[in-house]
Amino acid sequence: MDSIDRNILVALQHDGASGLAELAKVAGLSVSATAERVKRLEERGTIRGWRADLDPAAVGCPLLAWVFVTLRPGASDAKFRDGLAPFEHVLECHAVSGPWSYMLKLRVAGLPELEAFVAGELRRKAGVERTETVLALSTVKETAILPVAPPDDEEA
């Protein structure tokens, strides 16, 4: 993982469909050497996959919300976690520090769908005791592009 790899990763996060020829120019290598590096990054797991980045509103999920959750005493964490997997509008679920057990990130069509999920799935099932919901009023910035930092010193 040298600075060439990092340049490749930065470029691929911004545009993963521009082709190896252009990527090779960024990397300063030949096309095949660039392809070899990309392949290695995939095998190592640094590149987990290739995704189309969609407009949430265009696919019917304009509403963004987070739900903080506390489980009932004695409730099963594993059961709660597994229960969330099938819900595809649950984009994220993290165990968090602070007064809450978990924090979920949701994308839904509207408030009725949000309420249905929180009241129905979370509270009724899944051993959830208390919840607190935060709505996104507007989004200033939202990206999945990670900062690709040098391992220690040096700044490209």
Closer residue to DNA (CB): 35 or 84: 35
- Cα 91 to Cα 79: distance, rounded to the nearest angstrom: 18
47 touches, from DNA, a second copy, none (C-beta below 5 to 8 Å by class): a second copy
Residue whose C-alpha is closest to residue 23's, from 11, 14, 33, 13: 11
Instruction: Confirm if 68 and 100 have CB atoms less than 8 A apart.
Output: yes
Interacting residues of 84 by C-beta distance below 8 A, sequence separation 6+: 90, 93, 104, 126
Task: From 28-36, 91-99, 118-126, give the range in contact with a second copy by CB under 8 A.
Answer: 91-99
Q: How far is the CB of 144 from DNA (least distance, A)?
A: 22
19 touches, from DNA, a second copy, none (C-beta below 5 to 8 Å by class): DNA
Contact between 153 and a second copy (CB under 8 A)? Answer: no
Q: How far is the CB of 122 from a second copy (least distance, A)?
A: 14
Task: Kindly identify the residues of this chain, within the stretch 21-60, that bind a second copy according to CB under 8 A.
Answer: 44-56, 58-60
When computed from its CA atoms, the radius of gyration of the chain, rounded to whole angstroms, is: 20
- Cα 148 to Cα 2: distance, rounded to the nearest angstrom: 11
Summarize as ranges the residues that interact with DNA (CB under 7 A): 4, 19-21, 29-33, 35-37
